[in-house]
Structure 1
Amino acid sequence: MKTSVGFWLLAVLLLAASSFSQAQIVKKYFEDGDTLQLSPQPVSEKITSIVWYCDEYLLAEWVKDLIELRDHISFKGRTNLNTDTGVLEIRDMTAADSGVYSVEINNQVQSQVYKIVEIEDVPQPEVKVTLLCNSTSESCKLVCEGDVNKAGPLEYFWKKDDGEWEQSGQKMEVLNNEETQRVKTFSCRMKNLVSESDSEPIDNPLYQEKTPDCGLCVTLLDAVMRSLAVLAPCWAAVCLWTKRKTLCKCRNTHS
């Protein structure tokens, strides 16, 4: 008898583990105070019973002509269940409402479950430069950091000086080349499903202030000298003509 009981207990546990492993887990995120809406998978027949669970606890229940719609535990007065579609709405969500939500329609447990996670606004990030990074390094790594434990899935963006934001990863490697050496500052942006925040710009450790190109100076000076060489005879002719005109006026006056 003991062997038989142990066998069936083991079988039940294995069946439960198999069902969970085959579940389709859908992640959904909410902010504190949000209204959450959960939809069951469509069913072909008319719905006659609905039971929603949060983890292993009963959340909302309805059975046609037998059990009036009711909610339970901490969800009391915060739910709305559509008995035609099975869609569940929960108002004023809090961190305590995080968990795994599942539904049973017409006495059939659905394979799709929801993993509900609270999400917070992203903090203001900070750009940090890895050690041993200076103007002589071949490259440097920048990291966009912040306390993002409850920020959910994140996207990262980077900006050079006052340029456009470009999506990238949390870390960015910059090579020490002529293009990078002209960049004065780097900034990063964090973005999640509900908010975004930008860092303060940091100085580029690879920045090098460029001095005027001597070759260009020589070219400009040569151009100026050539122009003067062309204009000098004209200027001399104008001066000579002006001088002669002045002398002529003087002679006419004395006459």
Structure 2
Amino acid sequence: MKTSAGFWLLAVLLVAATSFSQTVEKYFKVGGTLQLSPQPVSAEITSILWKYDKNLLADWEKGLIDLTYYSKFKGRTTLNTTTGVLEIRDMTAEDSGLYSVEINYQVQSQVYQTVEIEAVPKPVVDVQPLSCSSASPNCKLVCWGDVNKAGPVEYFWKKDDGEWVKSEKNTKDIINDKETQRVEKFSCRIKNLFSEKESSSLPNPFFRQYHH
């Protein structure tokens, strides 16, 4: 069975079209402001068309179309006609979706998938295993908190009243050595793009009172 050259050309074009589009996740909180920027263009910007999914959001064309905002975005949107930057205030959960822009009649390859995120929860520090005691050689601290709707988060740990130290995960291994034994308590903090909260402190199971 022969495959036509036209078929292969169509397949290549489809792949190229698929790879040409670049989706960037953009996070927002309800009630906050979302800012979207187009990719840089070399020429002066003379026309801008922003879309939300497939619907018109904002439209402007120098000397031809006055700056116009559409539907639910009226009254809470600002478009900078010099830079193409779009700002939407008082964001709601219903504003989640795909945003795209056309500059100077050229559809840009970068599109924004907006995602609503919530404030991080107040975390709780726990120790594992439950049998951890002053006689254990090592244990693990866990910073608990439901972050499923909080977007990208960061974790931090603190010893007593010291500095916060960033961690790549929500757990911290502790070893029963002299350095750890001098620490009275541990605390953790969860942070996302719009909020941060810290736990109450947890007494160190390895703490020992050293006398000088």
* Category of TM-score, reference length = shorter chain: 0.7 to 0.9
Higher RCO (C-alpha under 8 Å, 6+ residues apart): 2
Equivalents in 2 of 1:178, 1:85: separation in Å? 58
Q: CA deviation at 1:157?
A: 1.8
**For residues 204 and 53 of structure 1, do their structure 2 counterparts lie closer, same or farther at Cα, with a shift above 3 Å needed?**
same
Higher share in helix = 1
Q: CA deviation at 1:125?
A: 0.6
**For residues 96 and 162 of structure 1, do their structure 2 counterparts lie closer, same or farther at Cα, with a shift above 3 Å needed?**
same
Q: CA deviation at 1:65?
A: 4.7
SS in 1 for 2:81: coil
SS in 1 for 2:83: coil
Q: CA deviation at 1:27?
A: 4.0
Q: Please show how residues 87-166 of structure 1 align to structure 2 within 5 Å.
A: 87-131=85-129, 132-166=131-165
Equivalents in 1 of 2:65, 2:122: separation in Å? 50
The letter for the 2-side match of 1:174 is I
Q: Residues 152-194 of structure 1, C-alpha deviation per residue, up to 9 Å, x if partnerless? A: 3322221222333222232110001122223222111122232
Q: CA deviation at 1:9?
A: 7.9
1:30 matched to 2:28? yes
- What is the TM-score of this pair, normalised by structure 1? 0.68
The letter for the 2-side match of 1:31 is K
Equivalents in 2 of 1:191, 1:128: separation in Å? 18
Q: CA deviation at 1:10?
A: 6.2
Could you say which residue in structure 2 is the equivalent of 1:200?
A: 200
User: Aligned-pair RMSD on alpha carbons?
Assistant: 2.9
Equivalents in 2 of 1:197, 1:42: separation in Å? 37
Equivalents in 2 of 1:18, 1:101: separation in Å? 18
Instruction: Pick which of 158-167 and 102-111 moved more.
Output: 158-167
Unaligned residue ranges in structure 1 (runs of 5+): 214-255
Could you say which residue in structure 2 is the equivalent of 1:185?
A: 185
SS in 2 for 1:42: coil
SS in 2 for 1:152: coil
Q: Residues 6-26 of structure 1, C-alpha deviation per residue, up to 9 Å, x if partnerless? A: 969867654431222xx2x44
Equivalents in 1 of 2:107, 2:31: separation in Å? 29
**Deviation beyond 4 Å, 4+ runs, structure 1:** 6-13
Equivalents in 2 of 1:161, 1:72: separation in Å? 54
The letter for the 1-side match of 2:206 is L
Could you say which residue in structure 2 is the equivalent of 1:50?
A: 48
Equivalents in 1 of 2:78, 2:163: separation in Å? 45
Q: What is the aligned-residue identity percentage?
A: 61
The letter for the 1-side match of 2:140 is K
Q: CA deviation at 1:34?
A: 1.9
Equivalents in 2 of 1:179, 1:186: separation in Å? 13
- What is the TM-score of this pair, normalised by structure 2? 0.80
**For residues 62 and 152 of structure 1, do their structure 2 counterparts lie closer, same or farther at Cα, with a shift above 3 Å needed?**
same
The letter for the 2-side match of 1:165 is W
